[in-house]
């Protein structure tokens, strides 16, 4: 191999590595969002103002990045319901771990995040 060919391959490798490193960095909009969320959650706002602050930060990020993630309609495991949630959201347990409330007037279905089992995607 010639020295020119080796140098070209080396530079191409550096560029490819730099591109993957740049892709790992959060965007300026994401950094602004993270800073705003930190301000929302610093403990100085009452609950309604904090919730409005979080919504405003999310709305701004959505506008900058082209909108919220697309919604995906997923049929529940038992086929009795259609759940609409952003793509990539963990699916619910489908009621497999549902239990009656303490007073027996409701059925409690834990969220996918609080479920101890991992549901297949």
For the chain (121 residues), the mean pLDDT of every run of 10, in chain order, is 58 58 78 96 95 94 83 78 76 70 84 56 43
Quote the pLDDT of residue 3. 61
Instruction: Classify the C-alpha dihedral 119-98-71-26 as positive or negative.
Output: negative
Quote the pLDDT of residue 32. 95
Quote the pLDDT of residue 116. 54
Quote the pLDDT of residue 109. 78
What's the half-sphere exposure (Cβ side, CA atoms, 13 Å) at 73? Answer: 3
Question: In terms of Cα–Cα distance, which of 87, 121, 118, 92 is closest to 107?
Answer: 92
Quote the pLDDT of residue 112. 64
Quote the pLDDT of residue 93. 60
Entry pTM? 0.42
């Amino acid at each position: 191999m010639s020295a020119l060919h080796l140098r070209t391959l080396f530079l191409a490798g550096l560029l490819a590595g730099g591109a993957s490193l740049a892709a790992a960095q959060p965007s300026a909009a994401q950094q602004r969002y993270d800073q705003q969320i930190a301000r929302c959650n610093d403990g100085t706002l009452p609950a309604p103002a904090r919730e409005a602050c979080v919504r405003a930060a999310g709305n701004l990020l959505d506008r900058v990045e082209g909108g919220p993630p697309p919604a995906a309609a997923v049929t529940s495991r038992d086929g009795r319901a259609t759940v609409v949630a952003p793509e990539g959201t963990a699916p619910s347990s489908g009621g497999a771990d549902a239990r009656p409330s303490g007073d027996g007037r409701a059925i409690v279905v834990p969220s996918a995040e609080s479920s101890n089992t991992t549901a297949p995607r």
